[in-house]
Amino acid sequence: MRRPAIRPASRPARVVVLVSGTGSLLAALLDAATDPAYGARVVAVGADRHGIAALDRARQADVPTYVRKVRDFPERAAWDRALTEATASYEPDLVVSAGFMKIVGQVFLDRFADRYINSHPALLPSFPGAHPVRDALAYGVQVSGCTLHVVDAGVDTGPVIAQRAVEVGADDDEASLHERIKAVERAMLVTHVGRMARAGWSVEGRRVRIP
């Protein structure tokens, strides 16, 4: 199935970034967006918890932030609606999950269809879920990496935008491998968010095409 292409905006693309942790991917996007030629700017940062370094990074860059915690709502669907409304209030052209550790619901997916993307530290479809680096090491793979994909209703199952490989060293543990993957992941995310912002993109079945 071919869905309508998302065209580039005549202005810098408005990007909302969702986070749950340290914000190293967010920091890379914030740094890239200081260049007017990049084609995108981060207009808000959303989180599922207070007191994380990623929110501090956003505030230091004078980017608005918002927090929607699951436990503050009577049911998951109510949280999903609240997250959708808060995110939509910033009128994003693109929503980036950068270490956001919550699965959104159908309301969010419908609102941001083909505009919600996620960076995952594994070569999907292998090792989806919350502990991909640990799982890859436990399996004994010799090559891991990272994947940028469009988010769908599954867990890390959406169409792939880009992938990068990272060799697993004989002495790697979860922390060392993850650090090397994150370095590659940051570059991949910055490159492709910029490309999507400047050129637009379309989703055709399992393929994401950037002109």
Residue 44, in any domain of the structure:
yes
For residue 179, being part of any structural domain is answered with no
121 touches 132 (CB < 8 A)? yes
Burial tier of 136 (Cβ tally within 10 Å: 0-12, 13-18, 19+): buried
What's the whole-number mean pLDDT along residues 102-115?
97
**1 has pLDDT over 70:** no
* DSSP structure class, residue 37: G
* pLDDT for res 192: 98
Which CATH number goes with the domain that contains 57? Answer: 3.40.50.170
Task: Flag whether 113 is in a domain.
Answer: yes
Q: In Å, how far are 13, 63, 85, 104, 125 from 67, measured between CA atoms?
A: 22, 13, 12, 14, 30
- Is 18 domain-assigned? yes
Region 200-205: what's the mean pLDDT?
96
Residues near 166 by Cβ (< 8 Å), separated by ≥ 6? 143, 144, 145, 146, 177, 180, 181, 184
Judge whether residue 188 has pLDDT over 80. Answer: yes
* 120 catalytic per annotation: yes
Among 50, 120, 131, 149, the active-site one is 120
Which range marks the domain in which residue 93 is found?
13-120+146-163+187-202
Residue 6 has a pLDDT of 93
DSSP code per residue over 69-81:
-GGGSSSHHHHHH
| Pair of tokens at residue 61 | 């860059």
Would you state the pLDDT for residue 3? 79
Per-residue pLDDT tens over the stretch 8-26: 878 999 999 999 999 999 9
Q: What is the pLDDT of residues 34-92, one digit of tens each?
A: 999 999 999 999 999 999 999 999 999 999 999 999 999 999 999 999 999 999 999 99
133 in a structural domain: no
Peptide bond into 36 cis (omega under 30): no
Is there a domain that residue 36 lies in?
A: yes
* pLDDT number for residue 5: 86
Give the count of domains, the chain: 1
- Write down the pLDDT at residue 2: 66
Q: Are strands 94-97 and 13-19 parallel, antiparallel or unpaired?
A: parallel
Mean pLDDT across 170-175: 97
Confidence (pTM) = 0.96
Distance from C-alpha of 182 to C-alpha of 166, rounded to nearest angstrom: 10
Average pLDDT, the chain: 96
pLDDT band (50, 70, 90) for residue 96: very high
Q: Residue 35 domain-assigned?
A: yes
Please state whether beta strands 202-204 and 160-167 pair in parallel, antiparallel, or not at all (unpaired).
unpaired
pLDDT of residue 4: 77
Token code pair at residue 198: 């400047």
Classify residue 132: in a domain, yes or no: no
